Amino acid sequence: MSSFASLPTVLVLAAGRSERFRAASGGLHKLEALLGGRPVLAHVLQAVADSGLPHHVVRPQGAATAGMGDSIAAGVRATPAAAGWLILPADLPLVRADTLRRLAEAPACPVLAPSFEGRRGHPVRFAATLGGELMALQGDRGAASIVRAQEAQGGLQLLPLDDEGTVLDVDTPEALAAAQVLWHARRSA
């Protein structure tokens, strides 16, 4: 097991506008939508707490909401001593705590992404050496440009995991319904 100081910090990105979900649900923010009687965000925060990893939640600043790139940059700036970062969008309510630990404790590489049945998911782990690039992000694009650059240089690794929660985000009410089905299946297993 790795020492706490050498583990990446989980950045929970909870500052988004939830435009697609709001448009389809009559104005409800996806992080406030209920899954198994609890808000989506509560499920994510519980998994993070259960992982035992250091973490930081990026929330909207005042009335303004930020794009994913802005949120990542703000989270990295707020955690300058981190040993790296696990970037976790707050709309993945079924990601498991053991998944977070496995990603955090995997061998070092510039970028590590989970995969489930061949699909790349979240959270994505970034080495501390990429902090400057992460802090320079802006707008809605997130860190895709950094991931692509690392992939081109051989710095991206995938970690196959048996956790559908890494690819099941709740951007729409239909996706929330799919998450509800998986949540019930996990509880009855």
CATH number at 164 reads: 3.90.550.10
Note the pLDDT of residue 63: 47
139-150 residue pLDDT tens: 888 899 999 999
**Average pLDDT of the chain?**
92
pLDDT of 154: 96
What pLDDT does residue 1 have? 45
CA dihedral 145, 147, 148, 153 (to 10 degrees): 130
The reported pLDDT for the residue numbered 99 is 98
Q: Shortest CA distance to 143 belongs to which of 171, 116, 120?
A: 120
Q: In the numeric block, which tokens belong to residue 7? A: 């583990």
Q: How many domains does the chain have?
A: 1
Pairing of strands 9-13, 84-89: parallel
| Domain around 35 | 4-188
Residue 137's pLDDT is 95
Closest CA to 126 of 77, 165, 82: 82
Structure tokens, 31: 């992080």
Q: Which residues of the chain have pLDDT under 50?
A: 1-2, 63
DSSP character string of 111-176: EEEEEETTEE-SPEEEEGGGHHHHHT--TT-TTHHHHHHHHHTT-EEEEE-S-GGGT---SSHHHH
